[in-house]
Amino acid sequence: MSADHEIENLLHEERHFAPSAEFAKQAIAKPSLYEEAKTDRLGFWAKQARKLHWHKPFTQTLDWSNPPFAKWFADGQLNISYNCLDRHVEAGNGDRTAIFFEGEPGDSKEITYAELTRQVKKTANALIDLGIKPGDRVAIYLPMIPEAVIAMQAVARIGAVHSVIFGGFSAESLSSRIEDAEAKLVITADGGFRKGKASALKPAVDEALSAGKCASVKNVLVVRRTNQDVDWVEGRDVEWSQAVGEASDEHEAKPFDAEHPLFILYTSGTTGKPKGILHTSGGYLTQAAYTHKNVFDLHADSDVYWCTADIGWITGHSYVAYGPLANGASQVIYEGTPETPDWGRWWSIVQKYGVSILYTAPTAIRSFMKLGSQIPNEYNLETIRVLGSVGEPINPEAWMWYRKHIGGSHAPIMDTWWQTETGAIMVSPLPGITTLKPGSAQHPLPGIEAEVLDDEGNVLGRGHAGLLVLTEPWPSMLRGIWKDPERFKETYWSKFEGQYFAGDGAKWDEEGDLWLLGRVDDVMNVSGHRLSTAEIESALVSHHYVAEAAVVGAKDETTGQAVVAFVILRQNQLDAAGSDADVSKILRDHVSKEIGPIARPRTIIVVKELPKTRSGKIMRRLLRDVAEDRPIGDVTTLADTSVMDLISGKLSAGASD
């Protein structure tokens, strides 16, 4: 099915939802934002930046003299942590709740801005005592607990650079990221609570640092969350409670250049080697704060905001650790999973804290849909007034279910498109302004310029699917790939000169609304997490059973895409491997260990050959046809056209999953 054909089904969407007059009247974002940004785009961004506190005001908004290497507000200086914490306390809002923490076992904690500021200052001093200096890299491998946000803020406060690694990643993935960043310190926990039990974290760190690997690491700072027994390396491992508890709570937030590095966040790439996406300070915080306030219509003195993302992903950076705190918001942080102890957990949290803004992924929404409306109907969700969606396109029916059963048929849904690389939301409706259309991300935000192009770079009009590009630099844009400027240029800027190619397909519909069509390369989007086919294939082939592997993403009702792997076994392992079902289990577990559970294939199909061209290139397009149970496309370029018949027959006979 072509992208054009696929989007045509969506273009018949005729449901429209205009904002109520009452909502429009109180909305923070006004229609004048679009005109203001169109008239003077750089002036618009300078105005947004000046809503932050600058220790040294900037005089130059954008330096684009050496594209694609942008500099925003480069001659200005600020401190990220001061903007997120100190200034709210100094403004008299120290007693406002910054974090409502809900632990999975049922423990809870309410942290004010004054207390959060004090804890971040103490942690900053503890990091300094451990020898961390501006520019040093700190790896953070923590569950969703307050210490995760405190650690990120403390690292930023002293001008160090954090690399947060999702707690579900394996020791091998952890090790490669620590080594690439040359981290000096790892901040972790004994474990966290997940799906009703304590899940260990520190053993993965110990394994990652074993056998002389990650020689740059001098210390491991350990939070005691679950009180599990863990191995302890004297002279290296340090108790968080001791180091932070004994540290002074006096710390002056010193200014750093706007282009000072803030964080590295690793994301999958098509080469199989994770890319260290580098973000800097002033431009990133400007756009994170601007989008958070306007997209979600944040009224900091009355709203309770909840973004369900983990801090290991970019959404948890921009819309948990930084944007909300920069805006002085009160937010919920939940440690566990939505089904623990039952599928009503999220809605009990909304009810308990009076959540008014909820930002989550279509994967979660589809999971709730499968269970029916009776579960959310048991809870009082009347406080919800704005909903958000992130991670992948949300299909119209899930959008409608979300609005009706979670939003009470009145809450506007902000369907947001952006990436790890963009740093902040790029395309989204604005509540109070946009007439909403289920399934469409609708419009680039004020200050963002985007187009849909064909392969030759020609601008496509309404009704034509093509490639989504960003035509002008934006403040929160990535500044590069860590230690690899050539890969940065090749990956994002080589296809269309001077324009950022997002890697996604898109289409303007006849009413001028934007629809996202998903990735056009071999990076899959599973539950909102980007996974590289090359990285998973590499993990499969590392097992002694496997001679060759090809991985594709297949549509999945719950996760958006699921991993489907086709493997050829080594001849000398055929007897040892056992049945296809045995092979499937062993290899799925192997991928989970090598990369993490999120990469675990849904289906593994053992085949004798893969569809290849005469030059040896694997035709993944045909494998996607098989995985999604579509008619097989053109096979004339294959070296052996009978291969697809054998693979199709194997799947029909019963795949190993």
Cis peptide before 475 (omega within 30 of 0): no
Mean pLDDT score, 226-241? 96
- Across all residues in the chain, what is the average pLDDT? 90
C-alpha 7/C-alpha 393 separation (Å) is 12
Q: Is the distance from CB of 19 to CB of 435 less than 8 angstroms?
A: yes
**Rounded CA gap, 541 and 538, in Å?**
5
Q: Which helix (H) or strand (E) holds 497?
A: none
What integer pLDDT is reported at residue 6 of this predicted model?
42
Residue 3 scores a pLDDT above 60: no
Which strands make up the sheet holding 137-141, listed edge to edge?
237-239, 219-223, 185-189, 137-141, 161-164, 261-267, 275-280, 480-481
pLDDT value for 656: 46
510 lies in some domain: no
pLDDT in tens, 390-415: 987 887 888 999 999 999 999 999 99
What's residue 7's pLDDT?
43
What is residue 512's predicted lDDT score, i.e. its pLDDT?
93
In whole angstroms, give the CA distance from residue 382 to residue 350. Answer: 9
Q: What is the pLDDT of residue 495?
A: 94
- The answer to the question of residue 575 being in a domain is yes
Q: How far apart are CA 621 and CA 277, in angstroms?
A: 28
Cα 602 from chain centroid? Answer: 21
The tokens of 14 are what? 């005729």
CB of 332 closer than 8 Å to CB of 304: yes
CA distances from 95 to 117, 165, 319, 356, 609 (A): 11, 32, 22, 20, 65
Top-confidence residue, 648 or 257: 257
Highest mean pLDDT among 7-11, 428-432, 454-458, 631-635: 428-432
pLDDT of residue 2: 39
Encode pLDDT of 416-465 as tens digits: 999 999 999 999 999 999 999 998 999 999 999 999 999 899 999 888 88
Number of domains making up the chain: 1
Give domain status of residue 119, yes or no: no
Tell me the pairing of strands 560-569 and 546-556: antiparallel
Percent of the chain residues topping a pLDDT of 90: 69
What's the mean pLDDT in 237-261? 98
Q: Return the pLDDT at 11.
A: 52
Domain ranges, residue 609:
524-654
Please give the single-letter amino acid code of residue 521. Answer: D
Residue 18 pLDDT: 96
- What sign does the CA torsion over 317, 318, 319, 320 have? positive
Write down the pLDDT at residue 306: 98
CA distance 257 to 283: 11
- Written as six digits, the tokens of 26 are 């109180």
Does residue 534 belong to any structural domain of this protein?
yes
Per-residue three-class SS string for 410-423: CCCEEECECCCCCC
Q: Are 432 and 27 in contact, with CB atoms under 8 Å apart?
A: yes
* CA separation for the pair 52, 286 (Å, rounded): 7
Look at the alpha carbons of 89, 93, 95, 96 in this order and tell me if their dihedral is positive or negative.
negative
Cα gap 225→113, rounded to integer Å: 22
CA distance 142 to 164: 8
Which element (helix H / strand E) includes 379?
none
Structure confidence at residue 526 as a pLDDT band (50, 70, 90)? confident
pLDDT tens-place string over residues 105-143: 999 999 999 999 999 999 999 999 999 999 999 999 999
SS3 label, residue 266: strand
Residue 322 maps to a domain: no
Q: Is the preceding peptide bond at 68 cis, omega within 30 degrees of 0?
A: yes
* Distance, CA of 212 to CA of 390 (rounded, Å): 39
CATH number at residue 613: 3.30.300.30
User: How confident is the model over 582-599, as pLDDT tens digits?
Assistant: 889 999 999 988 888 888
> Has residue 556 been placed in a domain?
yes
Determine the distance from the C-alpha atom of residue 40 to the mean position of all C-alpha atoms in its chain, rounded to a whole number.
31
Number of CB atoms found within 10 A of residue 445's CB: 27
Burial 110-129 (b: 16+ CB within 10 A, else e): ebbbbbbbbbbbbbbbbbbe
Q: What is the mean pLDDT of residues 495-517?
A: 90
The pTM of this model reads: 0.84
User: For 457, left (φ over 0), alpha (ψ -120 to 50), or beta?
Assistant: left
Mean pLDDT in residue range 626-655: 68
How many other C-beta atoms are found inside a 10 Å radius of the C-beta of residue 244? 25
Judge whether residue 371 has pLDDT over 90.
no
Q: Looking at the domain assignment, is residue 536 inside a domain?
A: yes
Q: According to the model, what pLDDT value does residue 9 have? A: 46
> pLDDT tens-digit profile of 222-232?
999 999 999 99
Query: pLDDT grade, residue 560 (50/70/90)?
Result: confident
Q: How far apart are CA 655 and CA 657, in angstroms?
A: 6
Is 304 within 8 Å of 330 (Cβ atoms)? yes
CA atoms within 13 A on the CB side of 318: 33
- Any domain includes 568: yes
- Angstrom distance (rounded) from CA 133 to CA 158: 7
Q: Does residue 269 carry a pLDDT above 70?
A: no
Cα–Cα distance, 588 to 603 (Å, whole number) = 8
Long-range CB contacts (within 8 A, 24+) of 608-614: 608/568, 608/646, 609/568, 609/640, 609/643, 609/646, 610/548, 610/550, 610/566, 610/568, 610/643, 611/635, 611/638, 611/643, 611/644, 611/647, 612/638, 612/639, 612/640, 612/643, 613/637, 613/638, 613/639, 614/639
pLDDT at 615: 42
How are strands ordered across the β-sheet holding 514-519? 450-453, 465-470, 500-508, 514-519
pLDDT confidence band for 635 (50 / 70 / 90)? low
Read off the pLDDT band of 617 (50, 70, 90): low
Average pLDDT over residues 470-491: 96
Alpha-carbon gap, residue 249 to 276, rounded angstroms? 33
The pLDDT confidence band at residue 385, using thresholds 50, 70 and 90, is very high
Whether 600 contacts 168, CB under 8 Å: no
**Type of residue at 116:** L
* pLDDT above 70 as % of the chain: 92
Length of the chain: 657
> With bands split at pLDDT 50, 70 and 90, how would you rate the model's confidence at 5?
very low
Q: How far is the C-alpha of 45 from the C-alpha of 424, rounded, in Å?
A: 14
Q: Which of 648, 643, 543 is nearest to 595 (CA)?
A: 543
Query: How confident is the model over 553-574, as a mean pLDDT?
Result: 83
Over the stretch 18-42, which tens digit does the pLDDT of each residue have? 999 999 999 999 999 999 999 999 9
Q: What confidence tier does 4 reach under pLDDT thresholds 50, 70, 90? A: very low
Judged by average pLDDT, the poorest of 68-82, 185-199, 231-245, 542-556 is 542-556
